[in-house]
Amino acid sequence: MELSSIKKYNFSSFKNIEFIDKGSFGTVFRANRNNKLFALKTFNNSKITLVVKELKMHKLVNNHKNILRFRGITEINTGTVYQINKYCLVLEYADGGTLNSYLSKHFNELKWNDKLNLALQLANALNHLHDNDIIHRDLHANNILIHKKTIKLADFGLSMSTKETSEDTNNVLRIIGIIPYIDPKHFIVENYKLSKESDVYSIGVLLWQISSGRKPFSDTDYDIMLSLAIVNGEREEITKDTPVEYSKLIEGCWKFEPDELINVRESGAEYRSVVERILFEVSTLKIYQELKNVKNYKVEFGILFMELLDMSKNYFLIKLLVIDDDLELSDKEINHVIICLEEYNVNL
């Protein structure tokens, strides 16, 4: 890919540049350009090959709402005696910060619908990567950003095509802060090649974090002892209010042995379909409670059910209402509902 095909920004057009964060491979700044905020990412290693590598990944997956948008590049003159020029990525700015900081600030405000929507957006982002044969290889809560309550998957510095030969990512300084998110086989298999499965393992840990609001193993040092514990099967406990299917999804993502894996680890699409189903059922239960309240106000049930069927074909909800003794439906109301259901070929 030629740099000439990428939009170039004049670095002097960026104002009020402020430091945001520094990682193993680069540093991120916030900058204002024409009253619009951008993120600028510089690279610790100034080799142009690293810039081009990440550019390629961004270009492959840039057209998805749950992927941090790549806007272009800008060139910084470092001002050293050698006048080395440094390329910098110009990226969409995420106003909610990282998933870590977002959950820390807002977790108590989140309902299960909100958590499941975050999980679904993660599923969509992962599926988009895997559909394009891209493995992220560095999924953790500081590489998941939030912009206007929307997930933005970021940092493709370690990403690569499934067709590429894996490069060494066993940098102790890099992984020491993200041990819980790393596929356990990375710690025990020499030259282990991270895969789509590895991404889904990381997502499983992120799903747990979304459900609990806590960093994984937050009361434990991220060291070799934690790595060994995870290799030997240590996992975080599922929080008590977690929907059963969501719990199964988490556990299925972070299984260790191949014969224990559920199919969801093989495909981002399957993972997405599971989250969609859980979200549907949780949303349905919420509507269910609201309709029970409506019943208490003696609203005409025949009309209500017909409208509900016409609008959503939400048969799961209808069944819940019909079999709920607390509603004390009259025989006339029950018969009317059954007739409505039969018209739509729904079996109770």
Amino acid at 215: K
CA torsion, ordered 217, 222, 226, 227, to nearest 10 deg: 120
User: Got the DSSP string for 174-199?
Assistant: HHTT-GGGS-THHHHSTT----HHHH
- The least confident of 98-102, 295-299, 337-341 is 295-299
Burial (Cβ within 10 Å: 0-12, 13-18, ≥19) of residue 200 = buried
- Which of 76-85, 275-284, 324-333 shows the lowest mean pLDDT across its residues? 76-85
Q: pLDDT tens-digit profile of 19-65?
A: 998 876 778 999 999 999 999 998 776 556 667 778 888 888 888 99
Which H/E stretch holds residue 251? helix 244-253
Give 194-222 pLDDT, tens digit per residue.
888 888 889 999 999 999 999 999 999 99
Provide the 3-class DSSP secondary structure of residue 259: helix
Weakest-pLDDT range from 5-19, 32-46, 312-326: 312-326
Structure-block tokens of residue 95: 């106003």
Looking at the DSSP bridge assignments, the partners of residue 151 are: 146
State the Cα–Cα distance between residues 140 and 143, nearest whole angstrom. Answer: 6
In sequence order, the β-bridge partners of residue 40 are 29, 90
Read off the pLDDT of each residue in 95-119 and give the average, rounded to a whole number.
Answer: 93
Residue 266 pLDDT: 47
Mind listing the pLDDT tens digit for each residue in 289-298?
Answer: 555 555 443 4
How far is residue 189's CA from residue 337's CA, in Å, rounded to a whole number? 59
User: Which of the residue ranges 128-142, 154-168, 314-328 would you say has the lowest mean pLDDT?
Assistant: 314-328
Percent of the chain with pLDDT over 90: 31
Q: Which of 154-158, 174-178, 236-240, 316-320 has the lowest mean pLDDT?
A: 316-320
pLDDT at position 24 is 65
The whole-angstrom separation of Cα 132 and Cα 136 is 11
φ, ψ of residue 228 in degrees (nearest 5): -65, -40
- Triad 45, 49, 53: Cα angle to 5°: 105
Mean pLDDT value of segment 278-305: 53
Q: Who has greater pLDDT, 2 or 76?
A: 76
The larger pLDDT score, comparing residue 161 to residue 315, is at 161
Which residues, in sequence order, are CB contacts of 313 under 8 Å at separation 6+? 344
DSSP string for 229-242: HHHTT--PPPPTTS
Beta strand ranges found along 11-149 (DSSP E):
15-22, 26-33, 36-43, 70-77, 85-92, 134-135, 144-147
Q: How many CA atoms lie within 13 A of 281 on its CB side?
A: 10
Spatial distance between the Cα atoms of 28 and 314, rounded to a whole number of angstroms: 46
Supply the pLDDT for residue 298.
Answer: 41
Question: Any idea what DSSP says for residue 84?
Answer: -
CB count within 10 Å of CB 9 equals: 18
pLDDT digits (tens, 9 = 90+) for 63-96: 899 999 999 989 886 554 444 457 889 999 999 9
Strands in 83-184 per DSSP E: 85-92, 134-135, 144-147, 150-153, 160-161
pLDDT at 179 over 70: yes
Mean pLDDT (the chain) is 77
Euclidean distance between the first and final Cα of the chain, in Å?
58
**54: amino acid identity, one letter:** E
Calculate the CA dihedral of residues 284, 287, 293, 296 and round it to 10 degrees.
Answer: -70
CA distance 44 to 60: 23
